[in-house]
Structure 1
Amino acid sequence: MTRQYTSDHEWVEVDGDIATVGITRYAADKLGDVVYVDLPKPGATVTASTVVGEIESTKSVGELFAPVDGEVVEANQAVVDDPGSINADADAAWLIRVRFTSLPELLSADQYAELTAE
């Protein structure tokens, strides 16, 4: 699976018609210590580029945006129970899985690296 990225700092891995979504290491570092995660429930319909969840840290509140249109099929309860797991390993701490109906153009790893290079 190839990991792709959004300009909102989410990573996306596509497997068939399922998109697994998490936040990037860059986003986790900017947030600081994550203390609370609110995710959509399975069965929820999401629309690309709309807010579907919230990630709170000791210094700010961040929004989770849906990178695709579709239906949430799974939310990672382990991350809800232990929000700090995002800081420990943002690359492995997925948040939601969505059965998507459309897949917008996403950024490659190189494009995302350019975006965050400032």
Structure 2
Amino acid sequence: MGKQMTEMLKGTLEGIVLALIAGQPAYGYEITARLREQGFTEIAEGTIYALLVRIEQRGLVDVEKVPSEKGPPRKVYSLNPRGREDLDEFWRTWSFLADRIEELHTKGN
């Protein structure tokens, strides 16, 4: 993954993870696996776990501890109303930026 991709992901990864959780509640490893299925193959699990801690602290997700077949209970994250508002704002911002960038691109600048 190039430097530009890494830098762009830093600004959008939270929204991407919120979008995944909005689709279906999941625990950390599942989220990482879904990201990899979407082509984000170089994102480290540690990055996702740190992000999950931040969004939990900010009150964007509800967390349920679910027994695991192996090891300690898993924390399953689901989007709550505050997280939904944050995700909606992310999509509005994304659409605005994508439109402006596409406009710049098509003008040949």
Greater relative contact order structure (CA < 8 Å, 6+ sep): 1
TM-score (norm 1): 0.27
- The structure having more radius of gyration, on CA atoms, is 2
More helix by share: 2
TM-score normalised over the length of structure 2: 0.28
Higher strand fraction: Structure 1 or Structure 2? Answer: 1
